[in-house]
């Protein structure tokens, strides 16, 4: 039976006059849920409710706020399988990957809950006698969290948990392709004890997100998604003065040197390129391979890729699930045609899948482009599908030049047995994340997540996320009993 959901504003269910459907990408005829399309008044109500709730929530001691997140982490851990299966139905990723997505939410809740007793500031000596100086973290206010569909629970947890533990209130706008998982996550947090109005959810598409991003009552916008949408959000926040944190695109590279363990490198390439059907901002969409091992690597990669099993993510045999929707399926195929026209050679895949059990979903065959030139569009533009480009290079210096020669800077990797070369690559790769002898995916929640260049605007989630969701306040306490004027009174 199809579920019919509402917005949640101030703890109340709020319906709307128009709706949209969330469908199973493996069986597009299955409607997972029906949701209201948020309007301007819905966004107004959610923001005003969050502003009102901020008055009291910011005064709750941070360790008490954290206790609620600890309870939520335990609840989510207990319901991991239920939430994972729901995610696979709604988003399509294989169940084993969905479990990882949910586990990341559990990990983030536990990690950020620990920050409730570690919202550390600094004490520092004052330049004047009988004067105390320190800095403390303060909440910002109402946070608009706008999240994508590819990690429908993990990414909301990256934003909601730190916002709440810092004393902010939240309006969440999840992607319209995966609203049910986010909705269940919000319900779970409220069950754990988040007070009414502190966390609200408004469903809808781009118009809803735009209304939230430009709302004058929003103090911070945290967005993960496309570079184009991120730019428009940045412009909106420039007008309102809101802080903005952007985590945008990637075109990530694995460098495979001539001394690499080829079997290990192929494992990493297959997982990085085709895990989550390539629908990760950290996907390994470029494979930069030394010419001395290029043919061997390409042969091994194609052999492995051809054995990958496409299908419904709920089936235990499935290794690659569907892509998210029909428009993305067509976009991926258009890039295949672009690559062919540019002169790249398709050695595997390159087709919309239509075999048994696949006709009712949005499936694309895992695709490898060989003999790719670094400036080809398929090597420069984010495709966000199960497609990777293999680029031959003469040596380390050219490999680094090619890896850095794009507008993004999220994740990169190098496979090599040379420790000196590995450390040199750590220095030379211009990305926010670097892996050695591992794929470009696999970030851990306690390290900073984000990138350089057009991957974002310099902020990080994960390990340094509290720098996004808090303000620094400098405090001076003068107990001298006299007027002391800094700098002026220090003149010789």
Active site residues: 247, 281
CA distances from 414 to 48, 177, 284, 313, 352 (A): 48, 34, 11, 30, 31
According to DSSP, the residues that pair with 159 across neighbouring strands are none
CA distances from 247 to 41, 145, 149, 453 (A): 28, 12, 14, 11
Question: Where do runs of H (alpha helix) occur along 129-261?
Answer: 154-165, 179-192, 206-213, 227-240
Residue 35: how many other CB atoms lie within 10 Å: 25
CA distances from 452 to 252, 394, 444, 458, 462 (A): 12, 26, 18, 7, 16
Count H helices and E strands in the chain, helices first.
15, 24
Distance CA 208, CA 212 (A): 6
> SS3 breakdown of the chain: % helix, strand, coil, rounded to 5?
40, 25, 35
Distance CA 198, CA 11 (A): 9
Place of tokens 């504003």: 9
CA distances from 253 to 362, 378, 388, 402, 430 (A): 26, 13, 10, 9, 11
Distance CA 196, CA 13 (A): 11
- Retrieve residue 84's tokens: 């994972």
According to DSSP, the residues that pair with 34 across neighbouring strands are 4, 21
3-state SS class at 390: strand
Which strand (E) or helix (H) includes residue 131?
Answer: strand 131-139
DSSP letters for 283-316: ---EEEEETTTHHHHHHHHHHHHHTPPBS-TTST
- Retrieve residue 179's tokens: 């609203």
Which residues does 110 contact at the CB level (< 8 Å), separation at least 6? 69, 70, 73
């Amino acid at each position: 039976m199809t579920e019919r959901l509402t917005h949640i504003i101030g703890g109340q269910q709020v319906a709307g006059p128009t709706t949209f459907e969330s469908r199973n990408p493996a069986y597009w005829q299955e409607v997972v849920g029906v949701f209201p399309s948020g309007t301007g008044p819905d966004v107004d109500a959610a923001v005003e409710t969050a502003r009102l709730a901020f008055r009291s929530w910011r005064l709750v001691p941070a360790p008490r706020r954290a206790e609620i997140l600890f309870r939520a982490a335990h609840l989510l851990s207990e319901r991991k399988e239920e939430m994972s299966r729901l995610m696979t139905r709604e988003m399509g990723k294989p169940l084993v990957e969905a479990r990882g997505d949910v586990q990341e939410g559990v990990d983030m809740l536990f990690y950020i809950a620990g920050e409730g007793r570690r919202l550390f500031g600094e004490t520092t000596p004052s330049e004047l006698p009988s004067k105390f100086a320190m800095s403390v973290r303060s909440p910002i206010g109402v946070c608009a969290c706008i999240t994508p569909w590819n990690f429908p629970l993990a990414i909301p947890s990256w934003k909601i948990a730190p916002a709440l533990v810092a004393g902010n209130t939240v309006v969440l706008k999840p992607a319209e392709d995966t609203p049910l998982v986010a909705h269940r996550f919000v319900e779970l947090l409220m069950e754990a004890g988040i007070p009414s109005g502190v966390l609200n959810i408004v469903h809808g598409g781009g118009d809803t997100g735009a209304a939230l991003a430009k709302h004058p009552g929003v103090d911070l916008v945290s967005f993960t998604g496309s570079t184009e949408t991120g730019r428009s959000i940045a412009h909106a926040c420039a007008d309102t003065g809101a802080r903005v944190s952007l985590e945008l695109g990637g075109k990530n590279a694995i460098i495979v040197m001539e001394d690499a363990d080829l079997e290990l490198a192929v494992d990493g390439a297959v997982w990085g390129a085709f895990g989550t059907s390539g629908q990760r901002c950290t996907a390994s969409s470029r494979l930069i391979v030394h010419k001395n091992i290029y043919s061997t690597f390409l042969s091994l990669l194609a052999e492995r890729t051809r054995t990958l099993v496409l299908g419904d993510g709920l089936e235990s045999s499935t290794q690659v699930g569907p892509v998210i929707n029909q428009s993305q399926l067509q976009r991926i195929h258009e890039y295949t045609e672009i690559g062919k026209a540019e002169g790249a050679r398709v050695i595997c895949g390159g087709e919309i899948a239509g075999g048994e059990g696949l006709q009712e979903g949005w499936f694309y065959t895992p695709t490898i482009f060989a003999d790719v030139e670094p400036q080809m569009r398929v090597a420069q533009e984010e495709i966000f599908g199960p497609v990777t480009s293999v680029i031959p290079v003469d040596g380390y210096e050219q490999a680094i030049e090619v890896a850095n020669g794009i507008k993004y800077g999220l994740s990169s990797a190098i496979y090599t047995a040379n420790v000196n070369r590995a450390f040199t690559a750590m220095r030379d790769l211009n990305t926010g994340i670097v892996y050695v002898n591992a794929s470009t995916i696999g970030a851990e929640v306690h390290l900073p997540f984000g990138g350089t260049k057009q991957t974002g605007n310099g902020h990080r989630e994960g390990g340094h996320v509290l720098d996004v969701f808090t303000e620094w306040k400098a405090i001076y306490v003068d107990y001298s009993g006299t007027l002391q004027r800094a700098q002026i009174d220090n003149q010789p």
